[in-house]
Chain A
Amino acid sequence: MSDTKNNWPLWEVFIRSKQGLGHKHAGSLHASDAEMAIGNARDVYTRRQEGVSIWVVPSESISASSPDDSEALFDPANDKVYRHPTFFVLPDEVNHM
């Protein structure tokens, strides 16, 4: 987990700002283990009641898509405008659907 310089591993921090909302990425920090990461996340990211729950994930455990693949991954959605309800024109008499 540590290199020759005794670098603490990097953790990504996710905060739930209030009950009912999902955890959102807040930033990252270094800590020697998960317990310390939660403690540090509390001090670094929630000094003003920004959260009610914290997730910490080792940064190296996150797999991310690459900008190089963004066309392949996201462009096909471009030509499927019918997925949005506004694609369908309603008769004037029908106000709500």
Chain B
Amino acid sequence: MIQTLEQFDTYVAEEKKIEPKDWMPDGYRKTLIRQISQHAHSEIVGMLPEGNWITRAPSLQRKAILLAKVQDEAGHGLYLYSAAETLGVERSDLVDDLLSGKAKYSSIFNYPVLTWADIGAIGWLVDGAAIMNQVPLCRCSYGPYSRAMIRVCKEESFHQRQGYSIMVELMKGNKAQREMAQDALDRWWWPSLMMFGPSDKDSEHSSQNMKWKIKRFTNDELRQRMVDMTVPQAECIGLKMPDKELKWNEDTGHHDFGEIDWDEFYNVLEGNGPCNKERLAVRNKAHDDGAWVREAAVAYAEKKQKKRA
């Protein structure tokens, strides 16, 4: 049984899992609530940029695939909200924080989705980066988060492959189609690398979260992996990375790459990205428009219960 901070630290250091009713430090609980709910919000807001393209998918099959992917994102959001709730928060409070703009979600969804190739780039790069982040979270010390991540990761690799297959198909197409694919990569590459968060030297939460085994690798380590994994995938289908400084480094066994535009990163984070306002407005409208449905369902359940009594 865990009763003190010392016992907690030892327990976690031994790679044992913490479950909802176990004693845990306030900071651990707060960090997890913040991280898991932000993660859930990202899944929910992440449906918006892709949802816009469901009706414009180029074939019935692509439409069915995209629909399934967006439905998965909703599912991922729901697994995560229920994991957050095991820490003693109410789902409606978490949702309110998203709708009021108090809570953050992944900045990547504040970029516009201009062409069908963007749907390819999002699956390939954005879901690719998400997988890179989420695989280590399957071993997170908090049981419910770890279990949710295992489910999410199983489903996420379909998302990445469907995106890459859109790029593969476009690159087999005519000049305009190939240019469309290259343009999507040019716009999504840097924001995807920003998904790993600030550079290690500026990351405020890293070391404590490593000790608590919420985080396993630093932002820069994961970002490097993303670059090393993606470069050959781009080359293989004839796409060029939009980074003049990108080159293979024989000594380190990794790719060197250019500096991220951190001003852009912080600017989007603070709410000034191209779509921050639109995303929140759409989410709020959907929530408000659905209010009568939620109320009607409760009224119906209460009426049925009275009849039975």
Contact = CB atoms under 8 A, between A and B. Distances in A.
Interface of A: 1-2, 5-8, 10, 27-30, 32-33, 36, 43-44, 47-48, 64, 66-68, 70-71
Given A27-B148, A48-B155, A68-B1, A8 B21 contact: no
Contact of B1 (A10, A28, A70): A70
6 contacts: A28-B82, A32-B297, A44-B75, A44-B78, A47-B68, A68-B1
A66 B19 CA distance: 11
B21 A64 contact: yes
Q: Interface SS of chain B: helix, strand, loop or mixed?
A: helix
A28 B86 CA distance: 10
Shortest 8 CB-CB contacts between residues of A and residues of B: A32-B297, A33-B301, A32-B301, A28-B82, A2-B298, A5-B92, A44-B78, A7-B92
B256 interface: no
A64 B19 CA distance: 13
Contacts of A68: 1
Contacts, number: 62
A33 B304 contact: yes
A28 B78 CA distance: 9
A1 B294 contact: no
A1 B1 contact: no
Contacts of B68: 47
B72 interface: yes
Nearest to B86: A28
A10 B83 CA distance: 12
Nearest to B78: A44
A47 B304 CA distance: 29
A61 to B, nearest CB: 14
Given A44-B79, A66-B21, A8 B298 contact: yes
B85 A28 contact: yes
Contacts of B249: none
A69 to B, nearest CB: 9
Nearest to B68: A47
A70 B21 CA distance: 12
B302 interface: yes
Contacts of A33: 297, 300-301, 304
Contacts of B82: 27-29
Contact of A1 (B79, B85, B298): B298
A48 B79 CA distance: 15
Given A7-B91, A67-B2, A71-B1, A36 B79 contact: no
Interface string B64-82: 0000100110010011001
B72 A47 contact: yes
A64 B21 CA distance: 10
A70 B22 CA distance: 11
B295 interface: yes
B266 interface: no
B75 A47 contact: yes
A5 B90 CA distance: 11
B189 interface: no
Contacts of A36: 297, 301
Nearest to B79: A27
B252 interface: no
B294 to A, nearest CB: 5
A32 B298 contact: yes
Contacts of A28: 82, 85
